[in-house]
Amino acid sequence: MTQFVLAIIISIAVLIFMIVKLNIHPVISLFVGSMIAGSILGNNPVTTITAIANGFGSTLGSIGMTIIFGSIIACSIRDSGAAKSMVNFFIKLFHGKNLELSTGMAAYIMSIPVFGDVTTVLISPLCAIISKRQNKPMGQMASFTILALNLTHSMVPPTPGILAVAVLLGADLGLVILWGIVCSFIAYIVTWLLMRKWAGKDYYPPKPEFVEGVEEVKSNDYHDLLIKEDNLPNVLFAMSPILVPVILIALASFADMTMAEGDAVRVLLDTLGNRNIAMFLGVVFGWLLAVAHKDKALANYNLTSGKNEKSLFTMMFNGWVSEALEVALIPLIVTGFGGGFAQIIKDAPAAGELGDVVAATGFPGLLVPFVIGAVMECAVGSRTTAGMTAAGLCLPMLDSLGISPVACAVMIGAGTMIVSHVNDSGWWVSQSMFNMDMTRTFKYNTLVGGVAGVIAGIVGAIFITIGVM
């Protein structure tokens, strides 16, 4: 056991040092950390590299297509005008009040299958426009939009990081989606109630290029606040590339729990709810959005890509796919190497005894995944790397911790909301896109996200304690 603990401590310390201090890419850092862990555990180099390759391959085999399809969905949401439709829907829903919730809830939904950084790029111009038009505090708009997209990015599959965590732990994906939404949404609303007035005191200006030519609206009629643009999709149609996969995956889990094996309906739902099939159907709905809004989709695509594409077919089946692969490449490879590191830990003979050691300390087992997720997020910055590492450490301990794989995945996701700071690429993206300085980014990303992470962890712990999760 001493050798196993030493391997974990040294390899993670090396991982942190390489990423944070030496600014070495997580791919190389994870590989070196994995090799060191294997060496300390007594494995020869061939055995260690084989384990890394097996973990890498199995992880990519589990989530690779899902990540690629999610990236294509992001392209469809951007170019079809779907994001603007979602924001308009929430402006109408709240009758022009609490407008930070309009972009916040749109971001919350968009970030379920789409990378958080991509959602930031899509939603931040809309935050700026609304802030300028209603003279709304940009601090409030930024904080609760960033919070929303980070919560679902951290806690709700099929976002890559938490999806990889769920797959590694063998957790029911539909249940992770369900409880991830419940815990993250409660955390969002409670954090908003606690911190909206504090964030609403900061009227700093939005990013100038986002509001060029935008005038403040003097009217109190919320219709005047809507983002007016021709041929925007219907909101349900706009949300369909996101909601269809989530609903199908959840229905498959429900069928598995309530229907007999071999039941025709269960077989159908299990087929449609397979995460890769469900995500591909989301892509299909994204293509349908583009077909229904051809001129808008082509214009937006050409604007963002700098091209002069005239063929909708080429845009959808070549342009979007090429762009999606470029976006997905780094998350794919980092997640794969995270799986390799987790495989080294999982294969260690002493891994199963770690839970007994933790249990003997008297520390509440249900908080262990949360704490490990938080520590790793603070240390390495990437929620994917942090979550995968935490999952690799927690998997051998599940029986001793006394929690289900679903509960473990949700608590890890909540933990990775804690202490996002300068080593997190998303932190810098939010700073740039929401026109914040360092102090404001710490306030509206790190602090607000940390409060929400703690609340999500408390909510998850309550559900675990009462035996429903």
What are the per-10-residue average pLDDT scores of the chain (469 residues)? 81 82 85 91 92 88 87 92 92 90 94 85 90 90 96 91 91 94 97 96 90 80 83 93 92 91 92 93 96 94 91 95 88 83 79 68 88 84 82 86 94 92 80 91 94 97 94
Total domains in the chain come to 1
332/164 Cα distance (integer angstroms): 10
69/325 Cα distance (integer angstroms): 9
Which pLDDT value is given to residue 233? 94
> Distance of alpha carbon 366 from its chain centroid, rounded?
22
174/251 Cα distance (integer angstroms): 7
Q: Is the dihedral of CA 251, 103, 107, 321 positive or negative?
A: positive
Nearest to 53 by CA among 40, 35, 26: 35
Q: What is the number of alpha carbons within 13 Å of residue 305 lying toward its C-beta?
A: 22
In a domain, 59, yes or no: yes
In a domain, 53, yes or no: yes
Range of the domain at 69: 2-207+229-465
400/222 Cα distance (integer angstroms): 54
Burial class (CB in 10 A: 0-12, 13-18, 19+), 428: middle
In a domain, 386, yes or no: yes
- Could you tell me the two tokens for 469? 């999760």
In a domain, 214, yes or no: no
In a domain, 215, yes or no: no
> Distance of alpha carbon 327 from its chain centroid, rounded?
14
By residue count, the chain amounts to 469
469/467 Cα distance (integer angstroms): 6
In a domain, 165, yes or no: yes
pTM of the model: 0.86
Residue 448 near residue 147 (C-beta atoms within 8 A): yes
76/145 Cα distance (integer angstroms): 21
Residue 76 near residue 39 (C-beta atoms within 8 A): no
Rg (CA), the chain: 22
Which pLDDT value is given to residue 355? 66
In a domain, 62, yes or no: yes
> How much of the chain is helix, strand and coil, in % rounded to 5?
80, 0, 20
